[in-house]
Amino acid sequence: MRYMTAGESHGKGLSVIIDGVPSGLTIDFEKIQSEMTRRQGGYGRGRRMQIEQDAIDVRGGIRHGYTTGAPISLFIENKDHTHWKQVMQAEPLEEALERPRTLTRPRPGHADLVGGLKYGHRDLRDVLERSSARETAARVAVGAIAKQLLAQLDVDLFSHVRSIGGVDAEAVDPTTRRELIEASPVRCADEAATEQMMRAIDQAKKDGDTLGGEVEVVVTGLVPGIGSFTQNDMKLDSRIAQAVISVNAMKAVGFGDGFDLARRPGSTVQDEIIHSEAGYSRRTNHLGGIEGGMSTGMPIRVQVAMKPIPTLYQPLQSVDIETKEPFTAQIERSDACAVPAAAVVLEAVVAFEVAAAILEMFGSSTMDRLKQTIADYKEEVRLF
């Protein structure tokens, strides 16, 4: 299973093609739309989310409510394109017209300058428009379909925010607080920390600044053995790590107890193996449900650190690429904090990688065959 996205932040919209989804997967369109709405929410979002509706337009691969096995084509319209038609038009401008809203002062922390150097763009908007986090709307749509596939296989996943702007949530078992997480404006399982995080976001917005934070994604219900130790690109943790780091503004990833594992002796971090009538399991889950690049059957725990969004309303110093003179960076519309929304995006990319790895292991062209193959494997593992 694979996918590809196309489109720009202020272009006509975002296109997605997903290939390799088995036939016979029942699609709940309301659930897809719910995922799109979740991405638009979260305390600290900017005005763009008041404009967009992120309605999904299915253009192929789904018929009468189920997948056909053909590539799935989706389109998400950019409502804000109405105000950017000339700026983003595909056709050449009239000779007498200058390019509108040209960007020549790159923003520190963005792709602007390096993208211009790589692709030779003198107008850095040609970089900004594609490198924008608007593209993550397409990835949430992909993840929404992957989630529905996983749900058919009794695999569940969710995210929660562990910190924002230096405010840390209490260490609790998030699986027992799902409703609280979904109700929290910052997707946090700690009510006291939620209030502190919101105050920190308010202050950052007032100061023209931005805040980052840390998100954890948890996957439950996986059978052991998803992934492989035989090649580096087949390891489940390496695939998940690449996927989450590819999301805009993500700068670090950990599994299980994460970076804390490096500070403790081995006797306190390895997960001892036990056996019962149900099969093998672990006493603990310090390693986050993955050993040797493969799922162990324990919950997979992935932590991701997000830097503060680099577009600031009190911009940092930059250089105009035309005059080479020092200037403050150009201001574009931004969020004070997008960590809660990023949590939804991270769920989506993890869901896709897990679903893709399952299909590689149990490859099947129909959902019925896939379910039967996995059921047979579960029994084989139980009796091993």
On whether 131 is known to bind a ligand per the annotation, the reply is: yes
User: In this predicted structure, which of 175-179, 278-282, 343-347 has the lowest mean pLDDT?
Assistant: 175-179
Token pair in block for residue 346: 């991270």
On whether 143 is known to bind a ligand per the annotation, the reply is: no
In this predicted structure, the answer to whether residue 104 has a pLDDT above a threshold of 80 is yes
Token pair in block for residue 144: 């929404």
Q: Return the CATH number at 181.
A: 3.60.150.10
- The whole-model pTM stands at 0.94
On whether 92 is known to bind a ligand per the annotation, the reply is: no
Of 96, 100, 105, 106, the closest CA to residue 84 belongs to: 100
Give the pLDDT mean for 103-130: 95
On whether 107 is known to bind a ligand per the annotation, the reply is: no
Give the pLDDT mean for 254-264: 95
pLDDT at site 173: 86
On whether 39 is known to bind a ligand per the annotation, the reply is: yes
Neighbour count for residue 30 (Cβ, 10 Å): 6
The CA distance from 243 to 351, in Å, is: 10
On whether 340 is known to bind a ligand per the annotation, the reply is: no
pLDDT at site 46: 66
Number of residues that make up the chain? 384
In this predicted structure, the answer to whether residue 22 has a pLDDT above a threshold of 80 is yes
**DSSP 8-state symbol, 309:** P
Token pair in block for residue 65: 């409510």
On whether 292 is known to bind a ligand per the annotation, the reply is: yes
Alpha helical stretches, state H, 9-111: 29-40, 48-51, 85-88
For 296-305, the pLDDT digits (tens) are 999 999 999 9
On whether 249 is known to bind a ligand per the annotation, the reply is: yes
The CA distance from 319 to 317, in Å, is: 7
CB 161 within 8 A of CB 187: yes
pLDDT at site 257: 95
Q: What percent of the chain has pLDDT over 90?
A: 85
The CA distance from 258 to 51, in Å, is: 38
Give the pLDDT mean for 239-249: 97
Q: Which amino acid is at 169?
A: A
pLDDT at site 53: 77
The CA distance from 117 to 104, in Å, is: 12
On whether 130 is known to bind a ligand per the annotation, the reply is: yes
Of 255, 32, 243, the closest CA to residue 149 belongs to: 32
Of 55, 45, 100, 52, the closest CA to residue 80 belongs to: 52
Q: What mean pLDDT is reported for the chain?
A: 94
Token pair in block for residue 335: 């969020």
Token pair in block for residue 201: 């976001």
Alpha helical stretches, state H, the chain: 29-40, 48-51, 85-88, 112-119, 125-131, 136-152, 178-183, 191-206, 236-245, 339-361, 367-382
On whether 333 is known to bind a ligand per the annotation, the reply is: yes
Q: Angle 136-152/367-382 helices, nearest 10 degrees?
A: 60
On whether 308 is known to bind a ligand per the annotation, the reply is: yes
Three-state SS at 332: coil
User: In this predicted structure, which of 124-138, 164-178, 267-281 has the lowest mean pLDDT?
Assistant: 164-178
Of 208, 213, 179, the closest CA to residue 193 belongs to: 213
Question: Which residue did the predictor score with more confidence, 212 or 328?
Answer: 212
In this predicted structure, the answer to whether residue 120 has a pLDDT above a threshold of 70 is yes
The CA distance from 138 to 7, in Å, is: 9
Q: Place 48 in a pLDDT band, splitting at 50, 70 and 90.
A: low
Question: Which residues span the domain enclosing 79?
Answer: 2-382
Total number of domains in the chain: 1
On whether 118 is known to bind a ligand per the annotation, the reply is: no
